[in-house]
Amino acid sequence: MAKPGAFLPESSTLETSALWKDGLLEHEIWQIGLPVGEGRGKPPLARADFEAGTVSEAKLRLESDPTPHNPRHVNICGWPTVKDEQKSLALLLCKRSTLVLRETAE
Amino acid sequence: MNVYCPPLDSSFGPLDWASSGVSDEASHIKRLLKESWEHYLEPRLELLLPEIESLVSDETSVPIDPDTIQAAKQFAYCLPRFGPLPEVSTDPDGEISFDWLAPSGKMFSVSVNKHRRLAYAGWFGEKSRIHGIEQLAESCPQEILRGIARATCQQAAR
């Protein structure tokens, strides 16, 4: 199971960064994630997959935010500002997601 | 005589030592409590406290305020003596999160900030979810203890 904190938004933007992965092959998904991990000094070890409908269920919304490296980049927006409400929604996303480990996926 | 004696399933932080007794019986109970602390709580803290401190040196996470570390340690002291230990991590806003993720799918998560504010959320079933705010004082708030127990009860029974 993914950690709930992985879904919490950045405090400055109240957005959670995500990737639209439909139509991508496994190795293509990890390739997009590699620079993100390298920027933090650690390669990505796992990811959490969830349906777009889960975002609606949480009363949040997806906003497209393409970057030169990642045209499939999206932000999860509409987070409440109160921390316990954020955590409650993060638990919902966590519950609905599937943890995919890199070593088992590749 | 007045000796604090917490129930077995409650928290038991060092700040709960509120004995004003001076009799032999009071001293005896105080000694038993100290032994209980050393036997049950100390080994758990030896695992949990280094995990909290290691978050400071994790260069991949956001900076953590020293007061947040102190608050997280105080929270660790207040946790129940029994049951599964939480996973500790840093939130994107620099708060420290304690997560109980049971194999049953039940989850309970508490975030501690530098003001000792505890933001918690629990998932115990599709129609059984809670969240709220508490303030950390000398002992762990009852809502938090209940949340931990609800998330880990099946785990502890194994």
Q: Is there a contact between B122 and A85 if contact means CB atoms under 8 Å apart?
A: no
Where exactly are the structural domains of chain A?
4-101
Nearest-angstrom CA–CA distance, A39 and B103: 33
- Whether residue B141 is predicted with pLDDT greater than 80 in this model: the reply is yes
- Whether residue B86 is predicted with pLDDT greater than 70 in this model: the reply is yes
CA-closest candidate to residue A76, choices A95, A98, A96, A53: A53
- Whether residue B65 is predicted with pLDDT greater than 60 in this model: the reply is yes
Q: How confident is the model at residue B14 (pLDDT cuts 50, 70, 90)?
A: very low
Q: How confident is the model at residue B154 (pLDDT cuts 50, 70, 90)?
A: low
Give the closest of A1, A9, A87 to B121, CB-based: A87
**Highest mean pLDDT out of B26-35, B80-89, B105-114:** B105-114
Tell me, what's the ipTM? Answer: 0.89
Mean pLDDT of chain B: 83
Q: Is A40 on the interface with B (CB under 8 A)?
A: yes
User: How far, CA to CA in Å, does B140 sit from each of A7, A53, B35, B114, B125?
Assistant: 26, 37, 21, 16, 24
Quote the minimal CA–CA distance from A44 to chain B in Å: 12
Nearest-angstrom CA–CA distance, A94 and B119: 17
